[in-house]
Amino acid sequence: MVPDIETRSENPYAVRDLHLMDQPDQLKAQYLAARPFPHLIIDDLFPAAWLLGILKECHEDRNLRWKSFDTALQKKRGTEPDSDFPPYLQRYFDFVNSGPFLRLLTRLTGIESLLPDPTLYGGGLHVVSGQGFFDLHVDFQHHPRTLLTNRLAIITYLNEEWDQACGGNLELWEIAPARRAVEIIPHFGRTVLMAQSAIAAHGHPTPILPGRERIAVIAYFYTSDPATLRIDRRRTSTLYVPRTGRSANARLQAALHNVLPQPIIRGLRTVRHSLRAPRRSSKR
């Protein structure tokens, strides 16, 4: 059984959404005016006890299904789509995907008719260990299964005693010319709402300090657009944005990733992993 989280009659999750409702116009103005693209930073949106419960589950639950990435462009792991989650983590996603919270997101961003994704494609629990990173990129513009338009991401960080020296700061970039515009330290309890679009370039390219782990929970929200029936399928995948300082290997991988169809990318990745796997010596 999960211990009961502090409750209030008007809000069983004790989340600060009702307090935010007192100033939605001000926060919406901040979101829309933010550069280089709309975003909003809210500290302590969710109860600390709740987030500490998720953090404990991350470290102790052996049934979480992980997908790992280890390339010149990203070194991290995230939970698989359609995963079964332990109680605290599932409660977080149940809440952010609920009607009341979706209505709050609409009031804060102005985006009408937001839709959740119960599969949590691209979302879920993300862990980046020491020396891990995620290079500058633009997230998938459409869900690969439903083809719904990706409009908004919510990220909540679970990193205790985190500062600039730990690395892994979320960077928001302008594309033309490419330059970092905003740097966000992923403090414990910090939530970021971030618009999704073809110019929403972001990442955390600075490697994590050895011995530390950068942990976040992420969900995406969508809108329905009839034009998605005619979309370019390449827009259902992450696109890497050119920047200075990237290695030749990373530049090659980014170029191939951005151009080749995803089945070919997955095939190349499988071949690469098989070539890197240690061979067993045969006994005669």
Given this model, what pLDDT does residue 284 score?
Answer: 42
Q: Which of helix, strand or coil describes residue 155? A: strand
3-state secondary structure 199-252: CCEEEECCCCCCCCEEEEEEEEEEECCHHHHHCCHHHHCCEECCCCCCCHHHHH
Q: What is the pLDDT of residues 30-65, one digit of tens each?
A: 999 999 999 999 999 999 999 999 999 999 999 999
Helix (H) or strand (E) segment spanning residue 150: strand 149-157
- Phi and psi at 128, nearest 5°, equal -120, 115
Query: Cβ(104)–Cβ(95) under 8 Å?
Result: no
How far is residue 56 from each of residues 75, 92, 188, 254, measured CA to CA in Å?
Answer: 22, 14, 13, 35
Q: At a CB cut-off of 8 Å and minimum separation 6, what does 12 contact?
A: none
Looking up tokens 């109680």, which residue turns up? 87
Q: Looking at residue 144, what DSSP letter applies? A: T
The label of the residue with tokens 């500490």 reads: 52
Enter the pTM of the model: 0.79
Please give the structure tokens belonging to residue 234. 């390449």
d(CA 83, CA 120): 8
- DSSP codes, 51-86: HHHHHHHHHH-S---EEEEESSSEEEEEEPTT----
Q: Say how many C-beta atoms besides its own lie within 10 A of residue 233's C-beta.
A: 11
What is the residue extent of each domain of the chain?
17-243
Q: What parts of the chain have a pLDDT lower than 50?
A: 1-13, 18, 281-284
Identify the helix (H) or strand (E) that includes residue 18.
Answer: helix 17-20
- pLDDT at res. 216: 98
User: Which superfamily, per CATH, for 17-243?
Assistant: q2cbj1_9rhob like domain (2.60.120.620)
Tell me which amino acid residue 275 is: L
DSSP state of 256: H
Per-residue pLDDT, 25: 85
